[in-house]
Amino acid sequence: EEIFIDDVDDDYIENDQGYVNLKDGALGLSAEDEAIVAAMNSGGGIEERKTLADIIMEKIAQKEGEADGDMEEEDDEEGLPPLPDKVVEVYTEIGKILSRYTSGKLPKAFKVIPSLSNWEQVLYLTRPDLWTPHAMYAATRIFASNLSPKLAQR
């Protein structure tokens, strides 16, 4: 089928093998309208638009950056007071016990670790990497029942 075009519109439209194309600069818009369309197409000096995903990813990166800064401070351990020698001695002995633990009662000093303010530092003294699976299970039960969910995940 051939499309017939009025002679009036010949200034704006050219027929190209059945396709209708607008001639260059023939949008039929006023100069003001063309400026608006150009501004919309090129961004018009407006800063880059951010999608919701971009904003969320920026927030996540910002929080991770803050967390990395916090972790570096914790690694330095400058703000933490040194543990007394007696505490270090007791909890290293508990670590030796837990490396051979299979069943039975756990030491009372181990059961109070979740209630300590610096429980992570004290727990590190017991060398959890050397515990038996039975000791790990018993410790998990103690910590899960005595710590808040947020603290237990650390």
Does the CA dihedral 25-27-33-39 come out positive or negative? negative
User: pTM above 0.75?
Assistant: no
Q: Where are the beta strands (DSSP E) in 2-115?
A: 13-16, 19-22
| pLDDT given at position 131 | 93
Residue 61 and residue 107 in one domain: no
Asked if 125 and 147 sit in the same domain, the reply is: yes
- How far apart CA 11 and CA 27 sit, in angstroms, is 10
Q: What is the mean pLDDT of residues 74-103?
A: 82
By the 8 A CB rule, do 29 and 37 touch? yes
Token pair 């003001």 is found at 32
Query: Residue 19 pLDDT > 50, yes or no?
Result: yes
Tokens found for residue 10: 């010949």
Mean per-residue pLDDT for 72-83? 60
Q: How confident is the model at residue 91 (pLDDT cuts 50, 70, 90)?
A: very high
Mean pLDDT of 34-54: 73
In terms of domains, do 67 and 127 share one? no
Q: 33: which residues sit within 8 A by CB, 6+ positions away?
A: 27
| pLDDT for the residue 130 | 92
Whether the pLDDT of residue 25 is over 90: the answer is no
* Structure tokens, 16: 């190209």
Are residues 104 and 145 located together in one domain of the fold? yes
Q: Does 1 reside within a domain? A: no
pLDDT of residue 20: 62
pLDDT range class, residue 76, cuts 50, 70, 90: very low
Task: With respect to residue 71, please indicate whether it lies within any of the assigned structural domains.
Answer: yes
Domain, as residue range, for 11: 7-42
Question: Would residue 2 count as lying in a domain?
Answer: no
**Judgement on whether residues 117 and 146 belong to the same structural domain of the protein:** yes
Q: 131-151 in b/e burial notation, b at 16+ Cβ within 10 A? A: beeebeebbeebbeeebeeee
Q: What integer is the mean pLDDT of 63-70?
A: 77
**Inside any domain, residue 65:** yes
Cα 66 to chain centroid, rounded: 11
Q: Are residues 121 and 105 in the same domain?
A: yes
**Mean pLDDT along residues 99-122:** 89
Q: What is the mean pLDDT of residues 7-34?
A: 63
Sort 108 into a burial class: Cβ within 10 Å, 0-12 / 13-18 / 19+. Answer: exposed
How many domains, the chain? Answer: 3
Residues 47-61 have a mean pLDDT of: 82
